[in-house]
Structure 1
Amino acid sequence: MVVFAYLSVAPVREGSMADDVADAIAELDAFDVEYETNPMGTVIEAEDIDTLLAAVGAAHKAVDADRVSTVVKIDDKRSHDHDAEEKVTAVEDVLGRQAKSEHNKV
């Protein structure tokens, strides 16, 4: 079974969060997960919910701040094994093109 999550971890403070976000992302390398970071967060793919939750917890704990805000959205479809690429391809098949703008500024 494959489980997906959308993860956003950030300290609650002013200024750049790049160092803190990098610390959170680096923690994911200690787990058997695939991930891709974009400007709004990170999508994580794991073989099981326990691995996913452990990785998310480690990423949250990696941010060394007085207050940390973490948003997690989990997709756990138990009746079908699928990967992230398959999900995007299904949408692109319906669109008849890649699921991004022609200008690709994002």
Structure 2
Amino acid sequence: MVIVEFVIVPLGEKSLSRYVAEVIKLLERKGVKYQLTPMATIIETKTVREAFDIIEEAHELMFKLGAERVSTTIRIDDRRDKDRHMEDKVKSVLEKVGEVR
């Protein structure tokens, strides 16, 4: 699995929640596993190409919603030696936190 964090910002907007909501609706229509965080959205896809296609569609959606300028940042975790999921990464850290206490 590829885990991809992305942030899409329609520049010049004071509130982004309506834009983020439309991206989430897009992800749900596509059946993409996602995690919404206060600062970004994380998706899990089979390939980097699949992630790029989804993020490109979300990026273009901002223009359809009326944005005149959009900035998109992408961070990719592509691990090929194990089939890891978002929950696995969080669980691993939480287990180690428990070991420390």
The alpha-carbon deviation at position 32 of structure 1 amounts to: 4.2
Report the TM-score, using the length of structure 1 for normalisation. 0.81
Find the counterpart in structure 1 of residue 82 from structure 2.
80
Q: Name segments (4+ residues, structure 1) moved above 3 Å.
A: none
Matches within 5 A, 1:1-80: 2-64=1-63, 65-80=67-82
CA offsets 1:1-28 (integer angstroms, 9 cap, x no match)? x000111111101421211222222222
Compute the displacement of 1:89 (Å): 0.7
Instruction: Supply the distance in 1 between the matched residues of 2:80 and 2:41 (Cα, whole angstroms).
Output: 22
Over the residues paired in the alignment, what is the CA RMSD in angstroms?
Answer: 1.5
Q: Where do 5+ consecutive residues of structure 2 fail to align?
A: none
Q: Give the fraction of aligned pairs with identical amino acids, expressed as a percent.
A: 33
Letter in 1 for 2:51: L
Which structure has more helix as a fraction of its residues? 2
Letter in 2 for 1:90: S
Q: Deviations over 1:50-106 (max 9, x none)?
A: 221111111111112110011110100111111111111111111008xxxxxxxxx
Alignment: residue pair count: 96
Q: For the Cα contact (< 8 Å) 1:32–1:46, is it kept in 2?
A: no
Give the Cα separation in 1 of the matches to 2:45 and 2:31: 7
Query: TM-score w.r.t. structure 2 length?
Result: 0.85
Residue by residue, what CA displacement relative to the aligned partner does 1:32-63 show, whole Å, maximum 9, x if unpaired?
42001111011111122222111111111111
5+ long unaligned stretches in structure 1: 98-106
Q: Larger RCO: Structure 1 or Structure 2 (Cα < 8 Å, ≥ 6 residues apart)? A: 2
Q: Is the Cα–Cα contact under 8 Å of residues 46 and 52 in structure 1 kept in the other structure? A: yes
**Mean Cα deviation higher: 19-28 or 66-75:** 19-28
